[in-house]
Amino acid sequence: MKKLLIDINLENAAFEGDDAGAEIASILRDLADKLESSPILACPAASDDELLAALYDVNGNCVGACETREVTREATVGDQHGAYCLPW
């Protein structure tokens, strides 16, 4: 099963205080714009059927990544295989 994984490191000044939610939303909006314009993002590490994108905060710091990955089972947050599923 192919999954889209989004990993954002919140240990950064851009996420301090009451603006953390707004910063996360901004990063996800930027990612959504990238996905709409190019379903397969150009990246030397990505193959033809993979997506790989760096995520940046308002200060221009790389704070995470978005990637597609084949997984063989459901995983939980922090799983050693890197798959993230939240039970909403």
* pLDDT tens digits, one per residue of 49-65: 566 788 999 999 999 99
Asked if the structure places residue 61 within a domain, the reply is yes
The one-letter amino acid code at 74 reads E
Parallel, antiparallel, or unpaired: how do β-strands 52-56 and 2-8 relate?
unpaired
The encoded tokens of residue 17 equal 């205080």
Whether 78 is covered by a domain: the verdict is: no
Q: Residue 21: its pLDDT value, please?
A: 94
Higher pLDDT pick, 59 / 40: 59
pLDDT digits (tens, 9 = 90+) for 63-76: 999 888 777 766 55
Number of domains in the chain: 1
pTM score, whole prediction: 0.69
Domain that holds residue 20: 2-70
Cβ atoms of residues 43 and 52 within 8 Å: yes
